[in-house]
Amino acid sequence: MKNLFKIKSGLLCLCAALTILLSGGCDIDNNHLTLKDFADHLKKSGVNVEQVQPIEADVIKAQKAIAVKIAGSEIGVYKFNIDFKNQAKRLKRIHGNGYVYMLGLKFPVVVKGTFVLVNVHKNPEKHKILKALKTFK
């Protein structure tokens, strides 16, 4: 009876995890895309990207990261690779929370698949960025 309970609990957890990963902004359709693909998509979508430079991804334990300067303000774009269990778990938590802590400060985030964006809410071009994000696949 205990084994049956463990199996049911395990299946329930697996279903819940898959539901979270496959719903909303946390789809896995863009795991193959790169940070360059993201910056290029912003440009193609009419967002005036002034500068792109690499930044430290480890502050939120992402795989890679860039800072994208738009309208004189930088947004952080963090890429997670869900082929790695710890990256998938961390991304799931960030997506559920809607924020990350960096250097002890809480920052709201926007999640699109395996990409996490920080400081979008403060950017003057916020609406253009979010519109471009909807078509990023």
103, pLDDT greater than 80: yes
25, pLDDT greater than 50: no
Mean pLDDT, range 104-114, rounded to an integer:
95
Domain positions in the chain: 25-134
The pLDDT of residue 16 is 40
Question: Is 25-134 CATH 3.40.1000?
Answer: yes
Kindly tell me the burial class for residue 93, based on how many C-beta atoms sit within 10 Å of its own C-beta (0-12, 13-18, 19 or more): exposed
Answer positive or negative: Cα dihedral of 120, 121, 124, 128: positive
Mean pLDDT, range 67-90, rounded to an integer:
96
Kindly tell me the burial class for residue 79, based on how many C-beta atoms sit within 10 Å of its own C-beta (0-12, 13-18, 19 or more): buried
pLDDT in tens, 115-125: 999 999 999 99
pLDDT in tens, 85-102: 999 999 999 999 999 999
Local confidence band at 29 (pLDDT 50, 70, 90 cut-offs): confident
Mean pLDDT, range 39-62, rounded to an integer:
96
- pTM for the whole thing? 0.79
